[in-house]
Amino acid sequence: MELQPPDFLLAERTLVAAAAQRLAAAGLVPGTAGNVSLRAGDHVALTPTGAVLGTLRGEDVTVVDLDGRVVLEGGLAPTSEIDLHLGIHGRPDPPGAVVHTHAPVATALGCVLNELPCVHYEMVALGGPVRVAPYSTFGTPELAAAVLAALDGRTAAILANHGTVAVGHDLDAAVAATELLERSAELYWRAAQLGPPRTLDAAARQAVIDAVVARGYGTTRSATNDGEQS
Question: Does residue 130 lie within any of the structural domains?
Answer: yes
In three-state secondary structure terms, 132 is: strand
- Asked if 100 and 168 count as a contact pair (C-beta separation under 8 A), the reply is no
Provide the pLDDT for residue 217: 73
Provide the pLDDT for residue 227: 45
In three-state secondary structure terms, 63 is: strand
Question: Does residue 29 lie within any of the structural domains?
Answer: yes
Residue 147, C-beta contacts closer than 8 angstroms, at least 6 positions apart: 84, 87, 88, 133, 157, 159, 165
Question: Does residue 4 lie within any of the structural domains?
Answer: no
97-101 and 62-65 strand pairing: unpaired
Question: Which domain does 73 fall in, by range?
Answer: 10-215
Provide the pLDDT for residue 99: 98
Provide the pLDDT for residue 147: 98
Active site includes 228?
A: no
Question: Does residue 229 lie within any of the structural domains?
Answer: no
Question: Does residue 65 lie within any of the structural domains?
Answer: yes
Q: Is the pTM of this model over 0.85?
A: yes
CATH number (domain holding residue 203): 3.40.225.10
Residue 31, C-beta contacts closer than 8 angstroms, at least 6 positions apart: 52, 53
Provide the pLDDT for residue 228: 45
Q: Backbone phi, then psi, for 10, in 5-degree steps?
A: -65, -35
Total of domains in the chain: 1
Cα of first residue to Cα of last residue in the chain, in angstroms, is 55
Provide the pLDDT for residue 229: 45
Dihedral of the CA atoms 17, 68, 158, 217 (nearest 10)? 60
Nearest in space to 89 (alpha carbons), one of 76, 100, 73, 104: 100
- Please tell me the number of Cα atoms within 13 Å of 211 on its side-chain side: 10
3-state helix, strand, coil in the chain (%, to 5): 40, 20, 45
Provide the pLDDT for residue 216: 77
169 secondary structure, DSSP code = S
Question: Does residue 226 lie within any of the structural domains?
Answer: no
Provide the pLDDT for residue 230: 39
Mean per-residue pLDDT pooled into runs of 10, the chain (230 residues): 92 98 97 97 97 97 97 95 97 96 98 98 97 98 97 98 98 98 98 97 96 80 52
In three-state secondary structure terms, 179 is: helix
Query: How far is residue 35's CA from residue 64's CA, in Å, rounded to a whole number?
Result: 14
Question: Does residue 55 lie within any of the structural domains?
Answer: yes
How many other C-beta atoms lie within 10 A of the C-beta of residue 203?
A: 7
Set 12, 81, 179, 182: catalytic member: 81
Question: Does residue 193 lie within any of the structural domains?
Answer: yes
